[in-house]
Amino acid sequence: MLDLDALQARYRTVTGEEPQGLWFAPGRVNLIGEHTDYNDGFVLPFALDKKAVIAGGRRDDDQLVLVSLELDDEVHTSIGELSPGTEGWFSYLAGVVWALREAGHSVGGANLVMTSDVPLGAGLSSSAAIECATVAALVDLYGLDIAPMDRAKIARVAENAYVGAPTGLLDQAASTLCKADHGLFLDCRTLETEHVPLPMAEQGYEMLVLDTKTPHSHVDGEYGTRRATCEAAAAKLGIPALRDVEDLDAALAQLDDETMIKRVRHVVTENERVLKAFELARTADLAELAPLLDESHASMRDDYEITVPTVDLAVDTAKAAGALGARMTGGGFGGCIIALTKAGEADRIGQAIADAFDEAGFGAPVWFTVTPAPGAGRLS
Ligand code: ADP
Ligand code: MG
């Protein structure tokens, strides 16, 4: 639970002043569309009701005072000292100051005291939550006029160029642009977005998010290999990106490498599933999305080969315990699963997975239910 009183008290202790405002940005889960972003494809995330909150104030000098409540750490730096590649948690905030200035915005010193209940390193994008909350704070404190998608792009520059993590725009777009009770359909080529209704509570459903707590290993290498294979396949097919495959069977017939065939099949069918989910969510009962979640998981397991035993056990157990649909969410090799369940069932299904983990000798997972929440904004 976020303790906003403690946040404001810490701000007062550190600065001797009252904060000039509180800003927030959420973490996210991807409902569907995995490893499609770098193939110029489609994704459909929604924001979590877990978020980073920043108590902020503008300073008259060029100092940056950055505090994390969770880490109980206070960092003093300055605009002049900003340097891409600086290690440490505070780079997610400092990187935003740097990215805003690189983009030509007039930003000076600031006090930014943060807290967050987005689980860290679970693939729920605690990093984007911090970046997007920082953008929201600085935009208001310095009276900047930046359109929402451009705010997301600034946050992404902070993550890519300053922190040095080569991620797509999905996380920052979701954290910035999402709406309560909606998913965000994002075309990763054109950057066009559309809010898609996900009235889970209204239709009598809920969404379980379960963190398998599997330590990620070899993730960067595997990610790089998948990406390279997709690019090589697109080159072989003579198209700019796998997004441009129009006839899957014809495309697969042009390839001879078994691994490449599987990777292409995942990306192309996953894009189709996102488009189908997008259509269904606008017109149908959300239960009709459930088979797409199952198919997405099978495709990630069998064709993209990015699941691990804990994740597969979590998904299989969720289904056996009555989930309508379930899939791994995020880049893979661990992280979280999501399961669409009838209202009131998610917690029981989480417990069933915990029991199965215990029996299999896996560590204890952590789970909670989520409702699609709004993107970044000002709290007070
Ligand atoms: P994810 O975005 O999937 O949670 P990342 O590795 O991208 O994982 O980001 C996690 C990093 O974000 C942490 O290592 C830390 O540097 C920073 N971070 C997340 N939450 C906090 C927090 N409450 N306080 C300070 N830094 C945090
Ligand atoms: Mg991250």
Contacts 24+ apart (CB under 8 A), 136-139: 136/23, 136/24, 136/25, 136/54, 136/376, 136/377, 136/378, 137/21, 137/23, 137/54, 137/56, 137/110, 137/112, 138/56, 138/96, 138/97, 138/100, 138/107, 138/110
What pLDDT is attached to residue 123?
Answer: 87
For the whole model, what pTM was predicted?
0.96
The torsion angle over the Cα atoms of residues 302, 304, 310 and 312, rounded to 10 degrees, is: -40
* Residue 292 to residue 274: CA distance in whole angstroms: 8
Q: Is the pLDDT of residue 217 over 80?
A: no
- The closest of 201, 199, 152, 157 to 179, measured between CA atoms, is 199
What pLDDT is attached to residue 198?
Answer: 97
pLDDT band at 110 (very low <50, low <70, confident <90, very high): very high
Q: Is the CB of 191 under 6 A from ligand 1?
A: no
What pLDDT is attached to residue 277?
Answer: 98
* Residue 378 to residue 242: CA distance in whole angstroms: 39
pLDDT band at 122 (very low <50, low <70, confident <90, very high): confident
Condensed to tens digits (0 to 9), the pLDDT of residues 46-86 reads 999 999 999 999 999 999 999 999 999 999 999 999 999 99
3 flagged as catalytic:
no
Q: Is the pLDDT of residue 216 over 80?
A: no
What pLDDT is attached to residue 119?
Answer: 92
Q: Is the pLDDT of residue 93 over 80?
A: yes
The torsion angle over the Cα atoms of residues 253, 256, 259 and 265, rounded to 10 degrees, is: -10
Condensed to tens digits (0 to 9), the pLDDT of residues 265-287 reads 999 999 999 999 999 998 889 99
Condensed to tens digits (0 to 9), the pLDDT of residues 298-346 reads 999 999 999 999 999 999 999 999 999 999 999 999 999 999 999 999 9
CB of 356 closer than 8 Å to CB of 317: yes
Burial class (CB in 10 A: 0-12, 13-18, 19+), 195: middle
Q: Is the pLDDT of residue 219 over 80?
A: no
Please, what is the end-to-end C-alpha distance for the chain in angstroms? 18
Mean pLDDT taken over the chain:
97
CA of 124 to the centre of ligand 2 (A): 7
* Residue 209 to residue 125: CA distance in whole angstroms: 13
**Nearest residue CA, atom 24 of ligand 1?**
68
pLDDT band at 220 (very low <50, low <70, confident <90, very high): confident
Q: Is the pLDDT of residue 125 over 90?
A: yes
pLDDT band at 221 (very low <50, low <70, confident <90, very high): confident
Share of the chain above pLDDT 90, in %: 94
CA of 165 to the centre of ligand 1 (A): 12
**Pocket probe mutation, ligand 1, options 126, 170, 211, 219, max atoms within 8 Å of Cβ:** 126
**Ligand 1 closest atom vs CA 116:** 23
What pLDDT is attached to residue 227?
Answer: 95
What pLDDT is attached to residue 215?
Answer: 78
Strands (DSSP E) found in the chain: 21-32, 42-58, 63-68, 73-78, 110-116, 182-187, 193-197, 205-211, 325-329, 336-342, 366-370, 377-378
Collapsing DSSP to helix, strand or coil, 67 comes out as strand
* Residue 362 to residue 25: CA distance in whole angstroms: 33
* Residue 356 to residue 337: CA distance in whole angstroms: 15
* Residue 199 to residue 183: CA distance in whole angstroms: 10
